[in-house]
Structure 1
Amino acid sequence: MNIKNMFNKLKVNMAQASSARGNKSITAFFKQNEVILLVIVVFLITIAGIINPRFVGLDNIKTMSRDIAILAIGATGIGFVILTGGIDLSVGSIVAVGGVMSGVFIVRYGLPIWLGISLTLVIGVLIGLIHGLFVTKLKMHGFLITLVSMGVARGAMLVVTMGFPITDMPRPFNYFGQGFLFGEIPVPVVIYIIILAITYFILRYTYIGRHIYAVGGNMEAARLSGVNVDKRVILSYVISTVCATIVGMIQAGRMTMGHPGAGEGFELTTITAAILGGLSFSGGSGSVLGIAIGAVLIGILQNGMIMLNINPYYHKVVIGLVLLFAISFDYMRRRQKT
């Protein structure tokens, strides 16, 4: 009889333990940053759709998805820098570089579109390389060198254009910003999906991705374990500027011109999307999927404010408040871990 009671008690304990593990896993699932953001996204879409049914109309979805893709490309790039514990304030100005220089090569010099795009991407790589070298070799903080670059790049584009946009971009080039694949999917969305797939693979399945997380988690520990820290930091800045350059060319195609004022304030929006998506300013945590959801949330907020005829002057205020919320959430999350 005692043996039977012990056996029954053991079964009860096992059931309770299994239930506890199940409850814990469910709780952990709903505590994930991505899940929380998805719930917020669904909630915002529902509310905006009720207030203005045009918000969920096909035309607006196409426009919104294009805007989100452009933002997500820039946020993915700057996300690599944030993952290593750095920051890049130059992305807005590099957007202008991408648009203006592609216009210079293709319109002014009459180069083939593929060559103009390639040369513009090379410029993006060189700028990122300069940022990375200043940070790793001269030990300058990323905040300072990219702040300088933000002003220099913007000023250089004003000099190149004399303050006037470069117009008459060829129609095949404009397809990257205005076109649709299969008549329904905006081309920037396709470009972003390709970038998302590549960056997800790098961070998830390659030693380069593991090194980037290690550098952001503890730079000295990563160095002592044999990680080439300088190379990973330089790579992160190159990815950031290349993504910003791609955004610049997409926007130039969308507007049919390379404008020296393009990308103003873009750095604030991309940083907000990245931090909101689960990245930490301290580095070492987050994912490109989280960044994608963060960009979707920001895109819905921006588009919703437009659809609701909210004064444009309030848009940056809202984005700034969202960034404050994301930073505060990140701070509390890090405090809980410690």
Structure 2
Amino acid sequence: MTLSASKPLPQNRQIKLSRTRQLFTQNPGVTSIAIFLIACCAVFSFTSDFFLTQANWLNIIRQSAPILIVAIGMTFVITTGGIDLSVGSTLALVGALSAIALHDWHWPWYAVLVAGLIAGALIGSINGFFIAYEGIPAFIVTLATLAIIRGTALLITQGYSIPIPRHDPFSLLGRGWVLGIPVPAIIAVVALIAGYLMLNNMRFGRYVTAIGTNSEGARRSGIATQRVTMQAYVLTGMAAALAGMITTARLGSGSSNQGEGFELQVIAAVVLGSTSLFGGFGTIVGTLLGVLSIAAMQNGLILAHISPFFTQIATGLIILLAIWLNTRILSPGHAGTGK
């Protein structure tokens, strides 16, 4: 009996194995959150027979679509080394203004949509101006605008919910379905693809990563760091405005109370997805996994008949875990672009 030499693996299989190794070695944060999501799904599938059904997951995706849309914009902001705490207030203000425009001013739905995006861009540009051009820390600026914007929403609504016309086409933004898929999910997928391409395949994404890695070095290399930083906040403001309009359309009314604690969920999802709090590394795929993990956990806890108040504790624990992973895995010396 003779021993024959082992045959080499086919080239295409070697390429697949190489890509798998890169996934585990170059993106350990993304890998860990993917494992966490799978573990959550496995655990909650035993606690409730309804958890893994198509109807439940369509509901999860529909409800988490606004968070995903804003989290994509937040990924760019955090990659620059900044943060935006005003997204929840922006969601509330634009949602309330949209309801007023439809109910009291009788604007057509497309005019409300365009005006809402412009309002979000304006709020983002205000944040970006003070952060990028005036040099005020992002935490301070967005904490101040959080209070100002929320107060403005309270002022214009007087604390009341403003209903939108029941049969207005605007409501399809949050309640519509296309080929069995919720419209908010379709919008979120489009935003996800756009965000991925911008971060990984466009000059803007490379500039954002460079600013987060070394802002002064990026400036000396010819990048307009102030303008790019401001554009990142404009992008997040528009994302928050779109999320506000989707939420108002889904609930059928605009209220100044919408989006309370929303910024914490968004930041938790982005950081849990392994985007570095220190800047210089962002990943859209990780952000998607972070959003789905939080949404799946909250949904699973409800189906398991656990007190809804516990979800706040769980969200806080997730934020703490995400920050710990950031400090351990994604140190300030980490370099590279995410996928």
TM-score, normalising length: structure 2: 0.90
For residue 290 of structure 1, what is the aligned residue in structure 2? 286
For residue 50 of structure 1, what is the aligned residue in structure 2? 46
Check whether the contact 1:99–1:245 (CA below 8 A) recurs between aligned residues.
Answer: yes
- Please state which structure has a larger fraction of its residues in helix: 1
Question: Cα 1:313–1:114, aligned 2, differ >3 Å: closer, same or farther?
Answer: same
For 1:234 and 1:174, the matched residues in 2 are separated by 32
Aligned: 1:112 with 2:108: yes
How far off its partner does 1:168 sit? Answer: 3.0
**SS of equivalent residue, structure 2 residue 254:** coil
For 2:177 and 2:154, the matched residues in 1 are separated by 31
Check whether the contact 2:278–2:331 (CA below 8 A) recurs between aligned residues.
Answer: no
For 2:24 and 2:139, the matched residues in 1 are separated by 34
**SS of equivalent residue, structure 2 residue 143:** helix
For residue 7 of structure 1, what is the aligned residue in structure 2? none
Q: Which residues of 2 match residues 175-186 of structure 1 at below 5 A?
A: 175-182=172-179, 184-186=180-182
Q: Deviations over 1:96-131 (max 9, x none)?
A: 012101112121111111001111111101000000
Match of 1:324 among 311, 314, 320: 320
Check whether the contact 1:169–1:253 (CA below 8 A) recurs between aligned residues.
Answer: no
Q: Which residues of 2 match residues 173-322 of structure 1 at below 5 A?
A: 173-182=170-179, 184-322=180-318
For 2:312 and 2:97, the matched residues in 1 are separated by 28
Return 5+ residue gaps in structure 2 as ranges: 10-14, 335-339
Structure with the greater alpha carbon radius of gyration: 1
For residue 12 of structure 2, what is the aligned residue in structure 1? none
For 1:178, the aligned partner's letter is R
How far off its partner does 1:70 sit? Answer: 2.0
For residue 72 of structure 2, what is the aligned residue in structure 1? 76
**SS of equivalent residue, structure 2 residue 172:** helix
For residue 133 of structure 1, what is the aligned residue in structure 2? 129
Q: Deviations over 1:197-241 (max 9, x none)?
A: 111111111111110110011100000000000111101101111
**SS of equivalent residue, structure 2 residue 44:** helix
How far off its partner does 1:36 sit? Answer: 2.4
For 1:334 and 1:44, the matched residues in 2 are separated by 23
Q: Deviations over 1:250-284 (max 9, x none)?
A: 11011000111000000000000000111011111
For 1:56, the aligned partner's letter is L
**SS of equivalent residue, structure 2 residue 279:** coil
For 2:240 and 2:62, the matched residues in 1 are separated by 15
Check whether the contact 2:163–2:253 (CA below 8 A) recurs between aligned residues.
Answer: yes
Equivalent residues, number: 321
For residue 23 of structure 2, what is the aligned residue in structure 1? 29
Check whether the contact 2:161–2:255 (CA below 8 A) recurs between aligned residues.
Answer: yes
For 2:189 and 2:125, the matched residues in 1 are separated by 25
**SS of equivalent residue, structure 1 residue 312:** coil
How far off its partner does 1:169 sit? Answer: 3.4
Match of 1:91 among 84, 87, 90: 87
For 1:70 and 1:262, the matched residues in 2 are separated by 12
Question: Cα 1:59–1:335, aligned 2, differ >3 Å: closer, same or farther?
Answer: closer
How far off its partner does 1:140 sit? Answer: 0.9
CA-based RMSD: 2.2
How far off its partner does 1:159 sit? Answer: 0.7
Match of 2:63 among 67, 73, 87: 67
Check whether the contact 1:99–1:252 (CA below 8 A) recurs between aligned residues.
Answer: yes
**SS of equivalent residue, structure 2 residue 162:** coil
TM-score, normalising length: structure 1: 0.90
For 2:19 and 2:166, the matched residues in 1 are separated by 54
| % identical aligned pairs | 31
Check whether the contact 1:95–1:247 (CA below 8 A) recurs between aligned residues.
Answer: yes
For 2:19 and 2:254, the matched residues in 1 are separated by 50
